[in-house]
């Protein structure tokens, strides 16, 4: 299975257990102790239909590009929609991916260490509803739409749906994603469901994993 088949999200309309977020986080002021690898929800705790693995740094780098629809070596228009720079390696990014082979769907949990408030990403996504991405002659359109933020106890939360559509495509080539994101101190948590079909996304599994991931980071 390609790296693109090992990542991304789809679906809203379900409820995350937790408490409403008080307001938008504008500044990161707290460091969460512990290595990101130790803060990841263990693969054995992923929803039952999604046996999971923790990705090594090189695979994590590829997977992160799949999640944004902007891989390494691509050009983005408008340029202001290029995703923020991301570091990989020890305590920079940690990713675990669960795969449902029957439906070709994946659920990806990503933890990143950042000094940037989630509000910065929210602002960018609002301005980047449709983005053109090119690698050589290959072109794709990445569309992103914000969803209601999940109500859970975190500094800030965000949700979006995204499609990555190639100009030259066909059945089963469009990536459809749904993502829940939250921030606790300097750790950003994202859980993404990705499928290459137009079937209903498994948001119950996304909610379950997102809740567990936020609570795990909260405990430090």
Domain ranges of the chain: 3-219
* pLDDT for 3 beyond 70: no
* pLDDT for 22 beyond 60: no
Asked if 112 and 86 touch (Cβ cutoff 8 Å), the reply is yes
pLDDT on residue 110: 97
pLDDT (tens digit per residue) in 96-125: 999 999 888 999 999 999 999 999 999 999
HEC secondary structure over the chain: CCHHHHCCCECCCCCCCCCCCCCCCCCCCCCCCCCHHHHCCCHHHCCCCCCEEECCHHHHHHHHHHHHCCCCCCEEECHHHCCCCCCCCCCCEEEEEEEECCCCEEEEEEEEECCCCHHHHHHHHHHCCEEEEEECCEEEEEEEEEECCCCCCCCEEEEEEEEEEECCCCCCCCEEEEEEEEEECCEEEEEEEEECCCCCCCHHHHHHHHHHHHHHHHHC
- pLDDT band for position 173 (cuts 50, 70, 90): confident
Name the more confident of 171 and 138.
Answer: 138
CATH match for 3-219 among 3.30.420, 3.40.1000, 3.30.70, 1.10.3470: 3.40.1000
Look at residues 4, 12, 1, 6 and name the one whose alpha carbon lies nearest to residue 179. Answer: 12
pLDDT on residue 11: 37
* pLDDT for 128 beyond 70: yes
| Weakest-pLDDT range from 54-63, 64-73, 169-178 | 169-178
- pLDDT band for position 12 (cuts 50, 70, 90): very low
pLDDT (tens digit per residue) in 58-70: 899 889 999 999 9
């Amino acid at each position: 299975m390609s790296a693109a088949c090992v990542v991304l999200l789809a679906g809203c309309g379900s409820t995350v257990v937790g408490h409403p977020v008080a307001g938008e986080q504008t500044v990161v002021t707290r460091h969460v102790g512990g290595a990101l690898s130790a803060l990841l929800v263990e693969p054995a705790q992923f929803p039952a239909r999604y046996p999971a693995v923790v990705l090594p740094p090189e695979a994590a780098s590829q997977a992160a590009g799949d999640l944004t629809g902007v891989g390494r070596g691509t050009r983005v228009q408008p340029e202001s929609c290029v995703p923020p720079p991301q570091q990989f390696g020890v305590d920079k990014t940690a990713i675990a991916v669960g795969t449902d082979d029957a439906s070709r769907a994946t659920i990806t949990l990503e933890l990143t260490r950042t000094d940037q408030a989630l509000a910065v990403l929210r602002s960018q996504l609002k301005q980047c509803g449709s983005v053109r991405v090119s690698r050589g002659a290959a072109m794709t359109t990445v569309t992103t739409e914000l969803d209601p933020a999940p109500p859970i106890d975190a500094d800030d939360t965000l949700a979006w749906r995204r499609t990555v559509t190639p100009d030259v495509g066909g059945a089963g080539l469009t990536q459809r994603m749904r993502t829940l994101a939250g921030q606790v101190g300097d750790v950003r948590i994202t859980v993404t469901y990705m499928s290459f079909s137009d079937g209903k996304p498994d948001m119950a599994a996304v909610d379950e994993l997102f809740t567990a991931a936020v609570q795990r980071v909260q405990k430090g």
